[in-house]
Amino acid sequence: MNTSQRSPKSFDMEIIPVLDILNGVVVRGVAGQRDRYRRVNSRLTPSCDPSVIMRAIADQFDLRRFYIADLDAIQFQQLNRCTVAELACGQASLIVDRGVRSPADVEELLDLGVGQVVVALETLNGPDTARNLVSTFGAEQLVLSLDLKNGRPMTANPGWSNAESFDIAQELIDVGMRHMIVLDLAAVGVGAGTPTIDLCRRLRSRLPDGTIITGGGVSDSADLRRIESVGVNGALVASALHDGRLSAEDVCAFNS
């Protein structure tokens, strides 16, 4: 069934556009291979400037919450501070991943006006740090990112190197994390579908009142319907917006 034949009210899943920022410009993620990331080529605007791309997406799709991955901060601990501040001062609400390693990293983003700060498995050194962050800032301002690659956890904690992703998620839920992103980087930018749906279904039963967001590999509205069917609250999208595989009508059906 075409999305135009559905009632927009049949969907309550939020579409959240992604901006990957590297060297101060928006790049296109490809399967988590960051050395292959190049400036985004978008049908929405010829610009790679984050503020221009955010405005184009907001205007054309009527979206007002964005996920920002600051790859300079994640990889090199060099936050694009001015860029984040500029994006945060607009009308959009931001979820930002800067590769949090300490409470100071969270505090800096909140001071810049970021709505929620990502606590990413890739840089989190263990559950004690997560517990401390929840105690300091509260669960509502934090979003756990369960970072995977080909189904395996990407983790800075040696104790989690052989653990199952579901077990890690449970441990972090137990220390107070209530909002979660489930993202397999191997699927990002390839448009082959989202491989985290079964995991999200399991996590939904463990986190009935929390927020679960997923993405990576979203190609079209059919992929979004599959994600929505397991009770996910939000879907991260990027390439499908830039390539035109998701229309404004498609997005409106989910965000109304």
Per-residue pLDDT tens over the stretch 47-99: 999 999 999 999 999 999 999 999 999 989 999 999 999 999 988 999 999 99
Q: What distance in Å separates the CA atoms of residue 100 and residue 133, rounded to the nearest whole number?
A: 10
Segment 220-227 mean pLDDT = 90
Q: What distance in Å separates the CA atoms of residue 182 and residue 61, rounded to the nearest whole number?
A: 23
- Reply yes or no on whether the pLDDT at 5 is more than 60: no
Confidence of residue 151 (pLDDT cuts 50, 70, 90): confident
Confidence of residue 32 (pLDDT cuts 50, 70, 90): low
Q: What distance in Å separates the CA atoms of residue 16 and residue 184, rounded to the nearest whole number?
A: 16
Q: Which helix (H) or strand (E) holds 96?
A: strand 93-97
Confidence of residue 34 (pLDDT cuts 50, 70, 90): low
Q: What is the pLDDT of residue 195?
A: 85
Question: Which of 11-15, 158-162, 186-190 holds the top average pLDDT?
Answer: 158-162
For residue 28, the domain's CATH number is 3.20.20.70
Q: Is 209 exposed, middle or buried (0-12, 13-18, 19+ CB in 10 A)?
A: exposed
Question: Per the structure, how many domains does the chain have?
Answer: 1
Quote the domain boundaries for residue 27.
3-255
pLDDT in tens, 48-61: 999 999 999 999 99
Give the number of residues written for the chain: 256
Q: What is the pLDDT of residue 2?
A: 38
HSE-up of residue 159 (Cα within 13 Å, Cβ side): 8
Q: What is the mean pLDDT of the chain?
A: 88
Question: CB 86: neighbour CB atoms within 10 A?
Answer: 16
